[in-house]
């Protein structure tokens, strides 16, 4: 059966859909930062434009990865694994460096969510194997 005929396993589909949602939110945030760059509290106009461009790029990547995961694209899978593993490592280092008192529970929740998503994506790895 060809890869285009197979459907993504549940965990992979969940990560793909979440990536698409995150991508859309980041694209909207990036557009808003570009439009209202002079009115962003705590940012200069230039900083808001740079942040908006970064969010647009990140949003486009998230959309591509999410769509690729749903279509069982191996490159999207590899990038998804890398991003989730990198983010989980970042959250863990940040949690160790600052401590739970310094960041509250949001850092811990972020770490747990990223580890769960990483596990869900990893559990569907057989769907990306050659047949």
Domain count, the chain: 1
Rg of the chain taking only CA atoms, in angstroms: 17
Predicted confidence at residue 6, as pLDDT, reads: 77
Which run of H or of E encompasses 130?
Answer: none
Q: What angle do CA 45, 60, 123 make, to 5 degrees?
A: 130
Q: What is the pLDDT along the chain (131 residues), one digit of tens a residue?
A: 454 567 899 999 999 999 999 999 999 999 999 998 888 878 888 888 999 999 999 999 999 999 999 999 999 999 999 999 999 998 898 888 887 776 667 888 888 999 999 999 999 999 998 64
Any domain includes 46? yes
Any domain includes 34? yes
Asked if 31 and 93 count as a contact pair (C-beta separation under 8 A), the reply is no
Distance CA 81, CA 94 (A): 20
Which distant-in-sequence residues (6+ apart) come within 8 Å of 29 by Cβ?
Answer: 52, 55, 59
Any domain includes 1? no
Predicted confidence at residue 98, as pLDDT, reads: 81
pTM for this model (two decimals): 0.81
Predicted confidence at residue 5, as pLDDT, reads: 66
Tell me the three state secondary structure of residue 124.
coil
Range of the domain at 64: 10-124
Predicted confidence at residue 105, as pLDDT, reads: 78
Tell how far CA 22 is from the center of its chain. 7
Any domain includes 91? yes
Any domain includes 4? no
Any domain includes 3? no
Asked if 46 and 30 count as a contact pair (C-beta separation under 8 A), the reply is no
Any domain includes 96? yes
Predicted confidence at residue 41, as pLDDT, reads: 79
């Amino acid at each position: 059966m060809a890869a285009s005929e197979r459907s993504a396993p549940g965990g992979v589909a969940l990560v793909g859909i979440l990536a698409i949602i995150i991508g859309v939110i980041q694209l909207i945030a990036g557009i808003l930062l570009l439009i209202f760059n002079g009115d962003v509290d705590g940012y200069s106009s230039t900083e808001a434009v740079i942040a908006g461009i970064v969010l647009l790029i990140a949003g486009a990547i998230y959309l591509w990865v999410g769509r690729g995961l749903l279509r069982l694209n191996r490159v999207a899978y590899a990038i998804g694994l890398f991003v989730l593993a990198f983010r989980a490592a970042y959250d863990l280092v940040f949690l160790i460096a600052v401590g739970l008192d310094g960041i509250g529970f949001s850092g811990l929740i972020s770490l747990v969510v990223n580890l769960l998503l990483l596990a869900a994506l990893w559990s569907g790895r057989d769907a990306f194997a050659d047949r």
